[in-house]
């Protein structure tokens, strides 16, 4: 999430007038700058540094410069894992958008006194740890679980079906966990949406479809873009949900990196994979930002 922070700073655009910040401004900024340096700049620099290092037999990092980790990273095995992870994250983002937009629109257009309560309902599941909620899904989806019980009892299926430990379960787990990250940014956009604009569209002869596609979507696009990034990026690297609900038979890139730092005893290789992932994120952010500036 921290990766999204720089956007508003850079997005002020040419219209904003410039002047030299004074001492007070620097003092106000100082905590943020220190935080950025300590928890983002330094760790990232260390990650990149380790990615060019070697390791000894116990897994300790030895600082001899090498490109081997990157040469290994471009093996088909890891690329396939990465493509799978990107595909799961893409599916998750699309489904979250399809489900999240109507929900966010409904909440944003609801009477003011209802909005707080509706938003609270979106957030209620977050009051318990996501690990506990993921374990709950395991119970719900298992062969002897509630869903299978209902399906068999109602006669839809004769035999229980396999739901858990499949790609379906992985995407379900990701969607369930990241949906609020989509709803909240879209909600803020919808809340600011001027109703007069939509009325104007209707007055000028637009049908509901056209009003939606040419007025509502463009006006809420900042929220949609922010939501997509907030869902897509953590989904790629998430390993706890994919391991628990996917059963580990469809490893994701986050899981592979995690393994390199533990049982693989190969921190430099894990760091190289992590750095590559970081490069992908930076490129994705840069592309969306450029897109926004063009608009």
Positions in the binding site for another protein (CB under 8 A): 1, 57-60, 77, 80-81, 84, 112, 115-116, 119-120, 122-123, 126-127, 129-131, 138-139, 142-145, 160, 162, 164-165, 180-181, 184, 187-188, 230, 234, 237-238, 240, 243, 247-251, 256, 259-267, 269
Q: Kindly state the smallest distance separating residue 174's Cβ from another protein, in Å.
A: 12
Which residue matches tokens 């509502």? 216
Q: Least distance from C-beta 229 to another protein, angstroms?
A: 12
C-beta of 46 vs 213, nearer to another protein: 46
Decide whether 97 or 245 has the Cβ nearer to another protein: 245
Give the CA angle between residues 283, 229, 163 to the nearest 5°: 115
CA distances from 40 to 14, 74, 155 (A): 27, 26, 54
Phi, psi of 195 (to 5 degrees): -60, -30
SS3 content of the chain, % helix, strand, coil (to 5): 75, 0, 25
Count other C-beta atoms under 10 Å from residue 184's C-beta. 19
* Residue 162 or 214 with smaller CB distance to another protein: 162
- Kindly tell me the sign of the dihedral angle through the C-alpha atoms of 36, 41, 43, 44: positive
Q: Whole-number minimum distance, CB 68 to another protein, in Å?
A: 12
C-beta closer to another protein: residue 251 or 274: 251
CB of 114 to another protein, least distance (A): 10
- In whole angstroms, the minimum distance from the beta carbon of 239 to another protein comes to 8
Nearer of residues 84 and 206 to another protein, judged by Cβ:
84
Rounded alpha-carbon distances, angstroms, from residue 199 to 48, 204, 205, 217: 53, 9, 10, 15
């Amino acid at each position: 999430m921290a990766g999204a922070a720089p956007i508003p700073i850079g997005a002020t655009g040419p219209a904003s007038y410039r002047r030299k910040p004074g001492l007070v401004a620097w003092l106000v900024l100082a905590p943020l700058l220190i935080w950025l340096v300590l928890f983002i700049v330094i760790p990232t620099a260390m990650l990149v540094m380790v990615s060019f290092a070697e390791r000894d037999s116990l897994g300790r990092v030895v600082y001899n410069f090498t490109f081997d980790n990157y040469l290994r990273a471009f093996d088909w095995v890891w690329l396939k894992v990465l493509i799978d992870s990107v595909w799961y994250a893409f599916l998750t983002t699309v489904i979250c958008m399809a489900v999240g937009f109507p929900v966010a629109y409904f909440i944003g257009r609801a009477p003011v006194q209802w909005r707080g309560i509706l938003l609270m309902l979106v957030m209620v599941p977050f009051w318990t740890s996501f690990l506990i909620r993921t374990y709950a899904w395991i119970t719900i989806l298992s062969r002897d679980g509630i869903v299978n019980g209902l399906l068999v009892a109602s006669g839809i299926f004769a035999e229980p079906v396999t739901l858990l430990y499949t790609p379906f379960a992985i995407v379900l787990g990701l969607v369930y966990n990241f949906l609020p990250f989509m709803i909240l940014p879209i909600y803020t956009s919808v809340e600011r949406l001027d109703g007069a604009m939509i009325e104007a569209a209707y007055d000028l002869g637009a049908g509901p479809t056209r009003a939606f596609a040419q007025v509502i979507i463009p006006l809420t696009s900042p929220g949609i873009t922010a939501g997509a990034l907030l869902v897509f990026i953590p989904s790629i690297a998430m390993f706890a949900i994919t391991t628990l609900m996917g059963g580990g038979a469809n490893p994701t890139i986050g899981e592979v990196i995690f393994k390199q730092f533990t049982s693989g005893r190969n921190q430099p290789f894990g760091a190289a994979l992590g750095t590559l992932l970081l490069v992908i994120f930076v490129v994705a952010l840069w592309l969306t930002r450029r897109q926004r500036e063009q608009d």
